[in-house]
Structure 1
Amino acid sequence: MGCGASKVLPEPPKDVQLDLVKKVEPYTGQTTDKYKHFIKDDGSGGKAVDKMGSPSPPQATNNPYPGGPANGHPDPGDPRRNKVAKYRAKFDSRVTAKYDIKALIGRGSFSRVVRVEHKSTKQPYAIKMIETRYREGREVCESELNVLRRVRHTNIIQLIEVFETQERVYMVMELATGGELFDRIIAKGSFTERDATRVLQMVLDGVKYLHTLGITHRDLKPENLLYYHPGSDSKIMITDFGLASTRKKGDECLMKTTCGTPEYIAPEILVRKPYTNAVDMWALGVISYILLSGTMPFEDDNRTRLYRQILKGKYSYSGEPWPSVSNLAKDFVDRVVTVDPNERMTASQALKHPWIVTMAASSSMKNLHRSISQNLLKRASSRCQSTKSAQSTRSSRSTKSNKSRRVRERELRELNLRYQKQ
Structure 2
Amino acid sequence: MVFIMGSSSGKVLPEPSKNGYFCLISSVVNFKKQETVREACKEKQQAWLWRGRSDRGASREGISEGVKESVHLEEQMTNPNAKFRAKFDPRVTARYDIKALIGRGSFSRVVRAEHRRTRQPFAIKLLEVKGQEGHEACQAELGVLRRVNHTNVIRLAEVFETQHRVYLVLELATGGELLERVVARGTFRERDATKALMMVSSGLHYLHTLGVIHRDLKPENLLYYHPGQDSRLIITDFGLACWENKTALSFQNRDDANFHMPSDAEKSRQVKDWPVRTLCGTPEYLAPEMLERRPCSSAVDMWALGVITYILLSGSLPFDQSSRPRLFRAILRGGYSFHGDPWKSVSALAKSFIDRLLTLEPEHRMSAEEALKHPWLVSMAACSSNKNLHRSISRNLQRRASRASSRCPSSGSTPGSRISMRSGSRPNSRPRFGVSNSSGQCLKIAT
Q: What TM-score does the superposition give when structure 2 sets the normalisation length?
A: 0.71
- The answer to whether the aligner puts 1:113 opposite 2:116 as a matched pair is no
The aligned counterpart of 2:231 is 234
CA RMSD of aligned residues (A): 2.5
CA distance in 2, matches of 1:245, 1:88: 31
CA distance in 1, matches of 2:133, 2:106: 9
Identify the match of residue 281 of structure 1 among 302, 318, 321.
Answer: 302
> Does the 8 A contact of 1:267 with 1:311 survive in 2?
yes
The aligned counterpart of 1:360 is 381
Query: How far off its partner does 1:318 sit?
Result: 1.1
Query: How far off its partner does 1:386 sit?
Result: 2.6
The aligned counterpart of 1:170 is 167
Which one has the largest radius of gyration?
2
The aligned counterpart of 1:376 is 397
> Does the 8 A contact of 1:69 with 1:75 survive in 2?
no
Query: How far off its partner does 1:249 sit?
Result: 5.9
* 1:175-254 → structure 2 map (5 Å cutoff): 175-247=172-244, 248=247, 250=249, 254=275
CA distance in 2, matches of 1:279, 1:404: 19
> Does the 8 A contact of 1:74 with 1:85 survive in 2?
no
Identify the match of residue 290 of structure 1 among 278, 290, 311.
Answer: 311
CA distance in 2, matches of 1:186, 1:78: 37
- The answer to whether the aligner puts 1:299 opposite 2:320 as a matched pair is yes
Aligned residues: 337
* 1:41-80 → structure 2 map (5 Å cutoff): 69-70=68-69, 73-75=72-74, 78=77
> Does the 8 A contact of 2:214 with 2:240 survive in 1?
yes
The aligned counterpart of 2:359 is 338
Q: Decide whether aligned partners of structure 1 residues 404 and 103 sit closer, same or farther in structure 2, where only a CA change above 3 A counts.
A: closer
Matched letter for residue 116 of structure 1: A
Query: How far off its partner does 1:70 sit?
Result: 2.8
Query: How far off its partner does 1:5 sit?
Result: 5.9
CA distance in 2, matches of 1:148, 1:230: 24
Query: How far off its partner does 1:291 sit?
Result: 0.4
CA distance in 1, matches of 2:411, 2:248: 45
Q: State the SS of the aligned residue for 2:234.
A: strand
Q: State the SS of the aligned residue for 2:362.
A: coil
Gaps of 5+ in 2: 15-66, 251-270, 413-431, 436-442
Matched letter for residue 376 of structure 1: L
CA distance in 1, matches of 2:122, 2:305: 28
Query: How far off its partner does 1:177 sit?
Result: 0.4
Q: State the SS of the aligned residue for 1:237.
A: strand
CA distance in 1, matches of 2:393, 2:100: 32
> Does the 8 A contact of 2:153 with 2:236 survive in 1?
yes
Query: How far off its partner does 1:174 sit?
Result: 0.2
CA distance in 2, matches of 1:73, 1:156: 41
CA distance in 1, matches of 2:103, 2:411: 22
Query: How far off its partner does 1:357 sit?
Result: 0.5
Q: State the SS of the aligned residue for 2:306.
A: helix
The aligned counterpart of 1:144 is 141
* 1:251-330 → structure 2 map (5 Å cutoff): 254-330=275-351
Relative to its length, the structure with more helix (as a share) is 2
> Does the 8 A contact of 1:164 with 1:170 survive in 2?
yes
Matched letter for residue 284 of structure 2: E
Q: What TM-score does the superposition give when structure 1 sets the normalisation length?
A: 0.75
**Structure 1 runs of 4+ off > 6 angstroms?**
388-391, 403-406
- The answer to whether the aligner puts 1:88 opposite 2:85 as a matched pair is yes
Gaps of 5+ in 1: 7-67, 392-402, 413-422
Query: How far off its partner does 1:139 sit?
Result: 3.0
The aligned counterpart of 2:124 is 127
